[in-house]
Amino acid sequence: MNYNVPSVDQSDRRVPINLRQSGPTPVETLIDTRVRKSPYWELSMQAGCWRASVYNRMYHPRGYVPREEGGMMAEYDALVNDVTLWNVAVERQIQVKGPDAEAFVNYVITRDATKIPPMRARYVILCNEEGGILNDPVLLRIAEDEFWFSLSDTDLMLWLQGVNVGRRFDVDIAEIDVSPVQIQGPKSVDLMVDLVGPAARDIPSYGLMASAVGGCDVIISQTGFTGEKGYEIYLRDATQYAEQMWTAVLEAGERHNLKVVAPSHHRRIAAGILSWGQDMDFETLPFQVNLAYQVPRKKAADYIGKAALEAARDRLEAGDPPFTHKLVGMKLAGKPIDDYAPDFWLISAIEGGEPIGYVTSPWYSPELGTNIAMGHVPMSLTELGTELWIHLPDEYAETPGEPVRAEVVEMPFRPSVNPNQRELLKQKGLDAAV
C-alpha cells in the first residue's frame, strides 16, 4: 500500500491532496444527531436509498438502485431517457437580504452582481484573499434586496457572516428553511408543466419562477448538475411541507416514468461540470480548473481575492504559472468505471513511470463507449492529445497491476442539452484559458 507519493509535485500547496490508495474500505456509517437529516431524508429512505455520504454536514443520498440491479448505471439510464427526482437538500440556502445586499454580494463573488436582474440566477465562485475557491454555488437573485447562495460543499454561511463583522454592510445573513430537489432528464419539461402549468416551458436557462407545487410555495429555476434539461424546485418552509411537495412530484411523475435517483456524477463529468471537494478546493485558483471566465478583467468594484487573482493572471500570461498542476479532461482505457472512485487515482506521464498527477472525477460514458475523467496534471502535460497512464484499481484495470493508457481531450466530453455558461462561451470563441 502506497502511503506517500512524493513524485507528484505539490509544492504550491500548504496541505497536499491525500493521494494514498486505500480502496473502498467498507465501514458502517453511523447515523446520529451530529449530522443533520434533511426534510427529505426519510422520503429518500422510502424511495430505496441504501447508501449516503455527508455533504455540508448533512446526510446526502448517493444510491437507490441496488448494485445487482444495475446500480448507478441504471440510475443514469433513467436520467438520460426519462426524468429523475434528486434529494439535494444538502445545497443549503444562505440568504443575504437588506439594503446593501447587492453591494455585499458583489464584494464576495468574482463576477459582477450588479448585472444579475431579479428572478435570475448565475453560477458564481467565491474566493479567499489568496484567490483559492471557497465555494461555487448557484446564486439566486430573488429580489432587488435579496439573494440566495445555493451552496456546494463548504460552510459558506460562517464565512459570509465573518466578512461582514468588519465591513458592516446593512444586510442580514442566515440559512433559511428552503430545501431544493432537482428534476432532471428529457421529460423534465413535461413534468414541470404538469406541476406548475405551461409557464414552465418559458423559464430561460438560469431563470427563476415563483409558483406552487402541491399547494406549497416554491421558487423554480432552470438549472441542474447534469447538462440534461432540468430544473430545481426550492421549497419554502421545507421542514413543514417536504412530504406534501415530494408526494405531489411523485404522483405527477408517474406518467413520465419518474425515478428517484442520486446525483448523476457520470453525467456531470461528461458535461465538464466541476464538483467542489473533488476537482477543486480552497487552494485551487480558478485558472487551474477552467474557470477563468469567472474572473472578469473589467469588474471595477473591489472583491475578495481580486488582487491575488489579477496577479495570478499576469503571471500566467508571462509564462510563469503560480501553480504546478491544471485540470484536464481525459479519455482512458480499462473496464467500465461504474461507481464512485474511493481514491484520487494516480497518473503517470509514461507507462511504468512515477506518478505525476491524479484523477479527480472518473466514470464510464455509455454514449462515448469509453471511460472519461477529469484530473490534475503538470502544466507541461495539458496539451490535447498528450498521452498519459492511469493507475486504476484491479477491478477496472485491463491487466491487474498495470496502468491503462489515457489521452488528454477537450471538455465537455459531449454536447449538453442544456449547456452551461462555459460551453456557451466556448461556442462563441470566448472561452480563453486566462
Q: What helix, strand, coil percent values describe the chain, rounded to 5?
A: 25, 25, 45
Can you list the positions of beta strands (E) in 124-215?
126-127, 133-135, 138-143, 146-150, 172-175, 178-184, 208-213
pLDDT recorded at residue 415 = 80
Predicted confidence at residue 416, as pLDDT, reads 74
Residue environment code for 50-78, b if the CB has 16+ CB neighbours within 10 A, otherwise e:
eebeebbebbbbbbbbeeeeebbbbbbeb
Task: Kindly state the greatest CA–CA separation across the chain.
Answer: 62
Comparing C-alpha atoms, which of 301, 305, 266 is closest to residue 283?
305
Q: What are phi and psi of 288, to 5 degrees?
A: -80, -20
Nearest to 76 by CA among 253, 294, 281, 226: 226
CB proximity list for 68: less than 8 A, separation 6 or greater: none
Which pLDDT belongs to residue 428?
Answer: 65
Q: What's this model's pTM, rounded to 2 decimal places? A: 0.96
Cα separations in angstroms, 121 against 110, 139, 170, 181, 316? 15, 5, 22, 16, 30
- C-alpha cell of residue 424: 456557451
Domains and CATH numbers, the chain: 270-427 (3.30.1360.120)
Q: Which pLDDT tens digits describe the chain residue by residue (434 residues)? A: 567 899 999 999 999 999 999 999 988 889 999 999 999 999 999 999 999 999 999 999 999 999 999 999 999 999 999 999 999 999 999 999 999 999 999 999 999 999 999 999 999 999 999 999 999 999 999 999 999 999 999 999 999 999 999 878 999 999 999 999 999 999 999 999 999 999 999 999 999 999 999 999 999 999 999 999 999 999 999 999 999 999 999 999 999 999 999 999 999 999 999 999 999 999 999 999 999 999 999 899 999 999 999 999 999 999 999 999 999 999 999 999 999 999 999 999 999 999 999 999 999 999 999 999 999 999 999 999 999 999 999 999 999 999 999 999 999 998 877 766 666 666 665 555 45
232 marked as binding residue: yes
> According to the model, what pLDDT value does residue 334 have?
98
Number of Cα atoms under 13 Å in the Cβ half of residue 54: 10
pLDDT of residue 287: 98
Query: Could you identify the residue written with the cell 453591494?
Result: 103
